[in-house]
Amino acid sequence: MHMLNKILIKMNRFVLLLLVVSMLFSCEDIIHIDLKDTEPRIVIEGVITNLRGPYMVRISKSVDFYDPGEYPPVKGAVVELSDDQGNREVLAGNDEGIYLSTKMKGHPGRNYKLKVSVDDREYEAESRMETPVKIDSIKAEYFPGVGDRESGYYIHCFFNDPPDEENNYRLIAWRNGIMDQNLYLMDDEFVNGRPVDYYFYLTPFQKGDTVNVGLATIDRPVFEYYNTLFNIVAQQGGNSPANPANPVTNISNEALGYFGALAMDQMDAILEERK
Amino acid sequence: MSITPVSGQEVVTMSGHLFDAENGEVLIGATVYVKELKTGTATNEYGFYSITLSPGQYHFVFSYLGFKPIDIELDINDDLQKDMELTASSETLEEVVVKGERGDVNVRSPEMSMNRLSIKEIKSIPVLFGEQDVLKTIQLLPGVQGAGEGGSGYYVRGGDAGQNLILLDEAPVYNPSHLLGFFSVFNSDAISDVKLFKGGVPSEYGGRISSVLDIRMNNGNNKHFGVSGGIGLISSRLMVEGPIKKESGSFIVTARRTYADIFLFFARDTLISNNSLYFYDFNAKGNYKIGEKDKIFLSGYFGRDFFLFQKRFGIDWGNSTATLRWNHLFNNRLFLNSTFLYSNYNYIFKIREDEGNLNLKSSIRDYSLKEDFQYFINPDNTLKFGAHLIYHNFLPGEITTEGGFPVNEKKLETKYALETALYLSQKYKPFSWLNLEYGLRFSYYMMMGPGEFYDLDEEGNIIDSTSYKRGEAVVKYPGLEPRLAVNFRLNPVHSLKLSYNRINQYTHLLSNTTSGSPTDVWIPSTNNVKPQLADQVALGYFRNFRDNMWETSVEIYYKNMANQIDYKNGADILLNELVESQLEFGKGRAYGLELLVRKNSGALHGWISYTLAKSEREFKNINEGKVYPAKQDRTHDLSIVAIYDLNKKWSFSGSWVYYTGNAVTFPSGKYQIEGKTINMYTERNGYRMPAYHRLDLGATRTNKKHKRFESSWNFSVYNVYGRKNAYAINFEPDENNPGQTNAVRLSLFSIIPSVTFNFKF
């Protein structure tokens, strides 16, 4: 019933568990730390997939740590999406800092480029759309719930890793159409050419839920972005690496965020009792 | 080999060993003082001394801290073999008379930046869970700081944990921590002597740039059998010792086991209660005297930690070391110790599932040979010289599977390296006011095949690769390491000292966590990873008061460190052949001032230590190449340790520490990705942890002796006033109001009482 992502989950869990053990003797409380003021930085999130558009680029700004959680949208930027076949499109933006494509189409095997001009600065990023890997099947398994892990049905996603190439994946789950916020990543370093059974270990579903699973094949720089982003999110959950830093981005000119070309395959199901 | 006297004039030599009268343990660093000549010598690591002088009548004083000195007059006309036994001054209340010639070693010797701890001291200082621990006690000394709350990891003079050489009976110990670092691997029952060098490192040591901790194990009682032990709340220990043959051989075996995991069963949550977490360790040593000139020692350590989660996955790790030594006296002035040693550290990460098993293993293994000579020319002139050879084996990682676990097996190539050194040093006292120790160590390192080796560019990309055959040299690094220590003795109670050392370090510890983890990796120097190099100068003023009852010292130091190593952001290190491509290289420097005031005798004794220091790093790709504070950077660090012997029954102790928080990386801003709040960082180590302080108290009640049965109760309270010191600070969204973000302090160990029952018969 299990699979590889468990090694990494478990190695991470090991460190967490050490903390749990120490927590028998520990306590947490909120304190005030004086933090420096920051210059707002541009945050660009751009994704193109092989699925039907529109594709979205969201541009916002960072704020100081103790500010309320409102992130100023960046309006009026010139956002251009292009591919290596000469197709290009300038995306129309709205007041929320969201820029949408109308005619661009994502094709596996092409390189995509994002160009953003705002406040006299230019930001550029490139990402290659890999060949999508097909999901074989998905399965739900009941877990009674232990500790902070809720009871419910957890999803397995089965697929075959292609043997002759290096593959990097991001897996995404949607519950009743809403994207789950956990970041699920894997590469094929230890499972190259094998059937894979991926387990969404933090995302419980209940009976009657609509389950949608996406398997996105991504290029290495995007994988590294997600992976370093994951380290920060894990750190926010209390698992502190020695030297936290901003994720390794593929965007130039000191922007935060990333631009990714995701080659997706998806599968849907409705969770119901097997008769 | 024949040795002739240095000059034409006739000389005689008195030599022998000094022992503890009670159990026959050798006394290390005990002094032999000649009153008429106002000079003397000290016993070496095997309790041996040798003193050469003109024939005549002399008063000799044999002394050792905590023991009654012996003052005898001897008429020496011929070479003399004289073993002496000293008796411990057990009545601590009756003040031990400290005479000028014995308590002033700190003022007299050229050694500086060196601290020696007696086991008695280590055992009387209160610590977490009541488990006495040498690695926690040294953190109370100036220039030494703990790497984490309650932990055994430590930093010396602004260096990192991997720059400390830790020797147990000469064998290097690669991971000195048990159980998340809350215990060290050193069982204080098994230890006889602890010496820490923070600078002015003598030439017989090498290989780590920040410090040397030289720990010697007990030899065992050679007079009668004895059993002793202790029963504590979370661990117990037992020691058995006795003669192999009376007065000529003895053995000692100690064992320890924790049962901390029984606490887990009390937890109602099965996530916590269904786990196990414990360690055990053994120390064993035997020695045997073969005739008057030869003595053989065999000692070993084996320890293992086990951690099992939900019976499904776990990790176990541990060190094992073995040391075989042969002391040989060519004559009463030339002493040789030959050592063969073995050291191994490994961890195995295991997954046990219905569909099969997976093991992930990594290890470092050393085989080593050492020849160390000591030639006692006269009380003012001693030579040390020798040769060392270490053969390192690094297994960076290997995955094996059983029963069809759905993962590919993978093994990274084992790496081999040879580390050798030749050294020569002289302890020389040309004038009564000048005492010198100088030497030269020539180290030579060679990385060897077989294997595929890559040349990387600055970004970590492969430019070229070469395949090497077995034993073929991949890269060679020679290093010349001068060492110097000078003592200007201004008058009998004060002196000025100066020292310099240069050290190369050929193996490197990579750690991704603040407090260290069993999965931290040791890597060898290669064509891409250059040896770390440190130069350190230190200057000190030493002064004693009231007949050496009070020792004081002030030291300043400056240390320059080249070829320092750090991980790149987002480094991928698990089973990565190209782990070297994930590293950044830079430089560092550390400097500071250290004060120590120590009271050695009287009912109330102890010390106060204070450090004012700075430690900085400079890496091209970190903080835009600007100099920034290292994580070891701690401005003020104060420790007060006091022990009060009330009467024969009760003794009390207390320690209080205060220090500035270390430099740390905190976020300054935040932003949103996929609707999630993400912390934004602006610089490395731009903030500080809050200041830390803590008081620990302890009491020991010694029970009445029944025949041979002695026992005592030890009570201690850790963090008496329950200060919430930050172990970590996490910056995370508020649970109820995700728009708001908070700094959350995680603190460990508020008021932890513990009790231990110790016995001996």
Domains and CATH numbers, chain A: 42-128 (2.60.40), 131-245+262-270 (2.60.40)
CB pairs under 8 A between A and B: 238
Please give, rounded to a whole number of angstroms, the shortest distance from the CA of A256 to a CA of chain B: 9
B262: contact with A, CB 8 A cutoff: no
Alpha-helix residue ranges (DSSP H) falling in chain A: 5-23, 220-236
User: What value does the CA radius of gyration of chain B take, rounded to a whole number of Å?
Assistant: 27
What are the chain A neighbours of B313 within 8 Å (beta carbons)?
Answer: 6, 10, 14
Span A260-273, mean pLDDT?
A: 90
- Among all residues of chain A, which has the CA nearest to that of B147? A242
Number of H helices, E strands in chain B: 6, 51
Mutate one of B274, B680, B687 to test the A interface: name it (highest A CB count within 10 A): B680
B573 and B519 Cβ atoms separated by less than 8 Å: no
Strand, coil or helix: what is B264? helix
B302 and B281 Cβ atoms separated by less than 8 Å: yes
Strand, coil or helix: what is B130? helix
Is the CB of A35 less than 8 angstroms away from the CB of B668?
yes
The tens digit of pLDDT for each residue in A208-247 reads 999 999 999 999 999 999 988 987 877 665 445 567 889 9
Is the CB of B752 less than 8 angstroms away from the CB of A147?
no
Whole-angstrom CA distances from A214 to A43, A51, A134, A191, A204 are: 25, 11, 10, 19, 16
CA geometry: angle A76, A225, A7, nearest 5 deg:
150
Whole-angstrom CA distances from A78 to A48, A75, A124, B30, B45 are: 17, 9, 12, 80, 75
Amino acid symbol at B360:
L
Confidence band, pLDDT 50/70/90 cuts, at residue B459: confident
B57 and B37 Cβ atoms separated by less than 8 Å: no
Mutate one of A1, A10, A254 to test the B interface: name it (highest B CB count within 10 A): A10
Is the CB of B271 less than 8 angstroms away from the CB of A35?
no
Is the CB of A245 less than 8 angstroms away from the CB of B679?
no
- The token pair at B120 is 């008695």
Provide the pairing of β-strand A135-143 with A184-187.
Answer: unpaired
Span B270-299, mean pLDDT?
A: 83
Please give, rounded to a whole number of angstroms, the shortest distance from the CA of B547 to a CA of chain A: 46
Which pLDDT does position A23 carry in this prediction?
55
Amino acid symbol at B422:
L
Higher pLDDT, A93 or B708: A93
The pTM assigned to this predicted structure is: 0.89
| Mean pLDDT score across all residues of chain B | 87
Which residue is associated with the tokens 């290890």? B363
- Among all residues of chain A, which has the CA nearest to that of B354? A1
- For A111-120, A140-149, B448-457, which range has the lowest pLDDT when averaged over its residues? A140-149
B12-101 CATH fold:
Immunoglobulin-like (2.60.40)
Distance CA B42, CA B64 (A): 10
B290: contact with A, CB 8 A cutoff: no
Strand order in the sheet with B728-733: A26-31, B741-748, B728-733
Span B344-371, mean pLDDT?
A: 89
A126 and A112 Cβ atoms separated by less than 8 Å: yes
The two most distant CA atoms of chain B are separated, in Å, by: 91
B44 and B63 Cβ atoms separated by less than 8 Å: no
Higher pLDDT, B109 or B626: B626
Which pLDDT does position B276 carry in this prediction?
75
H or E stretch including A157? Answer: strand A152-160
Mutate one of A143, A198, A240, A256 to test the B interface: name it (highest B CB count within 10 A): A240
Distance CA B617, CA B619 (A): 7
**Out of B270, B670, B750, closest to residue A65 by CB:** B670
| Residue B173 burial (10 A CB sphere; 0-12, 13-18, 19+) | buried
Is the CB of A30 less than 8 angstroms away from the CB of B731?
no
Which pLDDT does position A8 carry in this prediction?
52
Among B49, B199, B147, which residue's Cα sits nearest to residue B502? B199
**Out of A3, A26, A257, closest to residue B673 by CB:** A257
Which pLDDT does position B410 carry in this prediction?
84
Which pLDDT does position B514 carry in this prediction?
63
Is the CB of A256 less than 8 angstroms away from the CB of B677?
no
B727 and A26 Cβ atoms separated by less than 8 Å: yes
Please give, rounded to a whole number of angstroms, the shortest distance from the CA of A54 to a CA of chain B: 17
Span B142-161, mean pLDDT?
A: 86
**Out of A25, A244, A247, closest to residue B748 by CB:** A25
**Out of B406, B742, B752, closest to residue A3 by CB:** B406
Residue B685, pLDDT > 60, answer yes
**Out of A1, A71, A195, closest to residue B354 by CB:** A1
Please give, rounded to a whole number of angstroms, the shortest distance from the CA of B281 to a CA of chain A: 20
Please give, rounded to a whole number of angstroms, the shortest distance from the CA of A198 to a CA of chain B: 11
B586 and B551 Cβ atoms separated by less than 8 Å: no
Amino acid symbol at A88:
R
Confidence band, pLDDT 50/70/90 cuts, at residue B272: low
Q: How many CB atoms lie within 10 A of CB B759?
A: 15
The tens digit of pLDDT for each residue in B37-67 reads 888 888 888 889 999 888 999 999 898 877 8
- The token pair at B557 is 């130091």
Confidence band, pLDDT 50/70/90 cuts, at residue B337: very high
Kindly write down the DSSP assignment for every residue of B498-553, as one continuous string.
EEEEEEEE-EEEE--BSS--TT-EEEE--SSSPPEEEEEEEEEEEEEETTTTEEEE
B214-760 CATH, one of 2.40.170.20, 3.40.50.300, 2.10.50.10, 3.30.70.20: 2.40.170.20
Among B203, B216, B525, B535, which residue's Cα sits nearest to residue B388? B203
Distance CA B307, CA B312 (A): 11
Confidence band, pLDDT 50/70/90 cuts, at residue B96: very low
- Among all residues of chain A, which has the CA nearest to that of B406? A3
Distance CA B723, CA B657 (A): 12
B677: contact with A, CB 8 A cutoff: yes
H or E stretch including A138? Answer: strand A135-143
What are the chain B neighbours of A231 within 8 Å (beta carbons)?
Answer: 570
Please give, rounded to a whole number of angstroms, the shortest distance from the CA of A107 to a CA of chain B: 23
Q: Which residues pair with residue B444 across a beta bridge?
A: B420, B478
Is the preceding omega at residue B450 within 30 degrees of 0, hence cis?
yes
Span A201-207, mean pLDDT?
A: 89
Which residue is associated with the tokens 């030339």? B334
The tens digit of pLDDT for each residue in B539-560 reads 999 998 887 788 899 999 999 9
- The token pair at B525 is 């120097």
Q: How many residues does chain A have?
A: 275
The domain spans of chain B are 12-101, 214-760
Is the CB of B407 less than 8 angstroms away from the CB of A14?
no
Whole-angstrom CA distances from B334 to B49, B248, B288, B289, B293 are: 10, 21, 20, 18, 11
**Out of B407, B672, B730, closest to residue A236 by CB:** B730
Confidence band, pLDDT 50/70/90 cuts, at residue B452: confident
Among B626, B534, B632, which residue's Cα sits nearest to residue B592? B632
What are the chain A neighbours of B269 within 8 Å (beta carbons)?
Answer: 146-147
The tens digit of pLDDT for each residue in A153-189 reads 999 999 999 998 999 999 999 999 999 988 898 888 8
Q: Residue A212 — φ and ψ, nearest 5°?
A: -130, 125
B354: contact with A, CB 8 A cutoff: yes
The tens digit of pLDDT for each residue in B627-643 reads 999 989 999 999 999 99
Please give, rounded to a whole number of angstroms, the shortest distance from the CA of A28 to a CA of chain B: 5
Contacting B residues, span 408-427, partner chain A, CB-CB under 8 Å: 408, 410
Is the CB of B744 less than 8 angstroms away from the CB of A14?
no
Residue B273, pLDDT > 80, answer no
**Out of A33, A41, A192, closest to residue B680 by CB:** A41
